[in-house]
Structure 1
Amino acid sequence: MTIRYNNQVAIVTGAGAGLGRSHALALAARGAKVVVNDLASANGEMSAGALAVVAEIEKAGGEAMANGANVADMQQVQSMVEQAMEKWGRIDILVNNAGILRDKSFSKMSIEDFKLVVDVHLMGSVNCTKAVWEIMKQQNYGRIVMTTSSSGLYGNFGQANYGAAKMAVVGLMNTLCIEGQKNNIQVNCLSPTARTAMTEELIEDKRVLELMTVESVTTGLLVLVAENAPNRTILGCGAGGYARAIIKETDGIYLSPEEQTPENLLANWATLDDQKNAEELKAGWMQTNKYVAKAAASLGVDLSSK
C-alpha cells in the first residue's frame, strides 16, 4: 500500500534546509499541504531557505506556505498555527525538527548556551505540540514526531545541553502518546543521523557523509506520520539503517525491610543488573506495580483479594 497524505496539513519546523527541507518536500510529494517553518531574520524577513522550499513544492504542483516563527516563542508559534488553520482548516501532522547546536564540554559551557539549546529543542517541541494539540483532539486525528538523538539516548562528549534536551523530548513523547491515544493522536520520536550543516563540522570523512543522506532519514519520518503509524516508538534512521531504540528495565530483585541496606543492595548488584528478563515498561504505574507485586509475593500477601 502506497503511503499518501492527501488532504492532510503538515507543519515541519526548521524546514529551510537539511532534514526539515527533505521532510517537507517528501510530505508534499505525497499529497500533504505543508507549512515550511524556518526562523526569520531579526527584522522579520522570511528565510530564503523556507521560500525556496515553498517554491519547489509549488513548482511540483503542491501547496505550501512559508513561516518564520521562532519555535521557542509561544506567541509566534500560535500565530503560525492560526495561519495554517485560516488557510487550510486543519492540522494533521507536526514534525518538530528545528534545532541548534552549542557544543562545548560541560566545564566550558555557559549556562546561557545550555538554556538556549533546551529552549529550542525541548520548549520548541512543547510549544508547537501544545499549539496543535486541541486541534488534533477535535479532529480525532494527529501524528506528531519529536526529533531525538543518539546524543540524548546514549551520550556524546561536548553535548550535555543537546543530549539533555533530546532525551527530554523522549519523556514528552512517553506521556503524550498515552494522553493522545483516545483521540487517535500518535506521538513518536525520530532519532536521525544525516549529513546536515549541523553534522558536517563533526564528521571529517567525506565518504561517511556521502552515505548519510537526509532522504534516508525522511523515509523513517514518513512512516512515523502515516495513518497506520506506530505509537510511542523511537525510530533510529541513518545511511539506510533503521532500528528501534527501546528503554527496558531489568527484572531486578526484592529486599525485605530487614535486608534493605546499601551493603545488601551492592552485594546483589549482579542479579539486579541481569538483563535476561528485562521488560519494556509502557507507563510509570507499571514499574510501581512490579515492585509492589514482588514485595507482596515475598510477604505472602494476596493483592487480588480485598
Structure 2
Amino acid sequence: MPDLNFTDRVVIVTGAGGSLGKAYALEFAKRGASVVVNDLGTTQDGSFARSLSANTTVAEIKFHGGKAVPNFDSVVYGHKIIEAAIEHFGRIDVVVNNAGIVLDKSFQNMSDNDWDLVYRTHVKGAYSVTKAAWFFFKKQGYGRIIFISSNSAIYGNFGQANYAAAKNALIGLSHTLAIEGNRYGIHSNVVIPTASSRLTEQLFLEESLRSLKAEYVVPLVIYLGHESCQETGKVLEAGAGWFGQIQAYRSKGMVLPAANAETIADNWTAITDMTSAKHFDNIQEVTADLLNNARKEGISGTKWELENEKKNEYMELLTVVAKALNQKIHGSPTSSFMFMLILMNGTDMHSFTQNKE
C-alpha cells in the first residue's frame, strides 16, 4: 500500500503536549498534515498550567519541517480550538479527542468535584470540540473523528469510577456519530490504547513501560484518520505492537413467557450462556431479534402484534410512507417511525433503516 499522506489536511490533536497526544501530532505532521497542537498544560490531575508543553511539540514539528500551531484553550471551549484551526489553516479534517485527566479514588472516597472534573474534561471536552468541528465536516462532506478511550471503560478498574464512566461515554458517543455522520462522509471510531503516558506511568513497572511505548499505538490512529480508511463505528485496541477490535456480543438467551424473579433464577445458566453469542450492528437489529424470538415462542396479546389479515394492509401503507421518507426531507429524525416499522414486522426491518434529518 502506498504511504498514507496527509498533505493539505488539517488535524487537531487535543492533549498533545506530551506522551500519546504528542506522538499522534508528530506523526500526522511528519506525513504532511497541518496540526493544531492543543494542550492546556496541566498535570495528570488537572492542576496548575504548564503552557510550554504545546509549544515544545510545535517546536519539534517545525524543527523537522512540519506545520503546526499551539493552542492552550480548555477542550470544554472546543469552539475556540476549531476557530484556531480555521484561522491558521482554513479548514479542519481530523479531530483526535485525546485530552484527559485522572483523579483516582475509591468510589467511597470520591468527591463530587472528582467526578465532575473528570467527566467535564473527557466527555464535555470531547463533545465540545467535536460539535464545533461537525459544522465544517458536514459542510465539506468529509471528516474523521477519533476518540481515545480506555480499557477501564470496558472492564472497569479499582479507583476509576469517574474515569471508566467518562471513557465509556465516549464509546456511545462515537457509535452514534458514526450513524449520523456516515451519509456526510464523517467517520467516527474509538481507540483504546495501552501505552506509557503521564496518566498511566505510575501503573506499570519500568520493564513493562519499554514495551508500551506510545509510538506502538500511533499507526492505528493515523490509519483511522486517513481518507482511505472507510471504517466507522468501530472500537479498536492497540498496545505493545498488538492491534485488534472490540465488539459487544449478546447471549442467545431465552424467551420466558410468564417470567418472574424465580424463573429468572431457575434459568440463569441458559440466560447467561455465551456459547452461541451474537454480535449486532445496530439497535434495529437487536429490537427485531427480540420480537422475532417472541413470535417464534408464540408470545401473543402484546401491543405490537397485529392480526394476520391486517398486517399486509399496514405494511403496504407503511412502505409508501417509508419511501417518501427516503426522499430528501428536512425536520426531526424519524427514529420513532422506524421503530414502529420494526414493531410491525421485524423481519422487514432492513428495508427501512434509513434515518432522515
TM class by shorter-chain length? over 0.9
CA distance in 1, matches of 2:177, 2:252: 26
The equivalent position to 2:67 in structure 1, one of 63, 66, 69, is 63
Greater Cα offset, 21-30 or 231-240: 231-240
Amino acid at match of 1:261: N
| Structure 2 CA distance for partners of 1:46 and 1:108, relative to 1, 3 Å | closer
Structure 2 stretches lacking a partner, 5+ long? 300-304, 316-357
Q: How far is the alpha carbon of 1:271 from its aligned partner?
A: 1.6
Per-residue deviation, residues 102-142 of structure 1 (Å, max 9, x unmatched): 00110111111011101111111111110101110111111
Whether 1:270 and 2:269 are equivalent positions in the alignment is yes
| Structure 2 CA distance for partners of 1:78 and 1:171, relative to 1, 3 Å | same
SS at match of 2:137: helix
Greater Cα offset, 28-37 or 265-274: 265-274
Whether 1:47 and 2:60 are equivalent positions in the alignment is no
Q: How far is the alpha carbon of 1:46 from its aligned partner?
A: 7.5
2:166 maps to: 165
More contact order relative to length (CA 8 Å, sep ≥ 6): 1
CA distance in 2, matches of 1:176, 1:262: 37
2:178 maps to: 177
Greater Cα offset, 22-31 or 264-273: 264-273
SS at match of 1:280: coil
- Asked if structure 2 preserves the Cα contact closer than 8 Å seen for 1:252 and 1:272, the reply is yes
- Asked if structure 1 preserves the Cα contact closer than 8 Å seen for 2:75 and 2:81, the reply is no
1:108 maps to: 109
- Asked if structure 2 preserves the Cα contact closer than 8 Å seen for 1:140 and 1:185, the reply is yes
1:244 maps to: 245
Whether 1:137 and 2:138 are equivalent positions in the alignment is yes
- Asked if structure 1 preserves the Cα contact closer than 8 Å seen for 2:11 and 2:93, the reply is yes
CA distance in 1, matches of 2:160, 2:199: 13
CA distance in 2, matches of 1:212, 1:228: 27
2:152 maps to: 151
Q: Percent identity?
A: 38
CA distance in 1, matches of 2:272, 2:135: 42
| Structure 2 CA distance for partners of 1:202 and 1:304, relative to 1, 3 Å | farther
CA distance in 2, matches of 1:238, 1:220: 10
| Paired residues for 1:199-210 under 5 Å | 199-203=200-204, 205-210=205-210
- Asked if structure 1 preserves the Cα contact closer than 8 Å seen for 2:174 and 2:233, the reply is yes
2:353 maps to: none
Q: How far is the alpha carbon of 1:45 from its aligned partner?
A: 8.1
SS at match of 1:118: helix
Whether 1:286 and 2:285 are equivalent positions in the alignment is yes
CA distance in 2, matches of 1:109, 1:36: 32
SS at match of 1:145: strand
Q: How far is the alpha carbon of 1:202 from its aligned partner?
A: 1.8
Per-residue deviation, residues 76-125 of structure 1 (Å, max 9, x unmatched): x2122112112222111000000001001101111110111011111111
Q: How far is the alpha carbon of 1:282 from its aligned partner?
A: 2.2
Per-residue deviation, residues 191-238 of structure 1 (Å, max 9, x unmatched): 0111112111122x2110111100001111112212232211111111
CA distance in 1, matches of 2:49, 2:122: 23
Q: How far is the alpha carbon of 1:20 from its aligned partner?
A: 0.3
Q: CA RMSD in A?
A: 2.0
Amino acid at match of 2:52: A
Q: Provide the aligned length of Structure 1 versus Structure 2.
A: 299
Q: How far is the alpha carbon of 1:6 from its aligned partner?
A: 1.3
Q: How far is the alpha carbon of 1:283 from its aligned partner?
A: 2.0
Q: Rg larger in 1 or in 2? A: 2
- Asked if structure 2 preserves the Cα contact closer than 8 Å seen for 1:40 and 1:69, the reply is no
CA distance in 2, matches of 1:290, 1:176: 24
CA distance in 2, matches of 1:244, 1:31: 28
- Asked if structure 1 preserves the Cα contact closer than 8 Å seen for 2:175 and 2:234, the reply is no
- Asked if structure 1 preserves the Cα contact closer than 8 Å seen for 2:41 and 2:53, the reply is no
1:94 maps to: 95
- Asked if structure 2 preserves the Cα contact closer than 8 Å seen for 1:118 and 1:162, the reply is yes
1:216 maps to: 216
- Asked if structure 2 preserves the Cα contact closer than 8 Å seen for 1:11 and 1:37, the reply is yes
CA distance in 2, matches of 1:194, 1:137: 33
2:320 maps to: none
Q: How far is the alpha carbon of 1:23 from its aligned partner?
A: 0.2
- Asked if structure 1 preserves the Cα contact closer than 8 Å seen for 2:12 and 2:92, the reply is yes
Structure 1 stretches lacking a partner, 5+ long? none
Greater Cα offset, 81-90 or 16-25: 81-90
| Structure 2 CA distance for partners of 1:274 and 1:304, relative to 1, 3 Å | farther
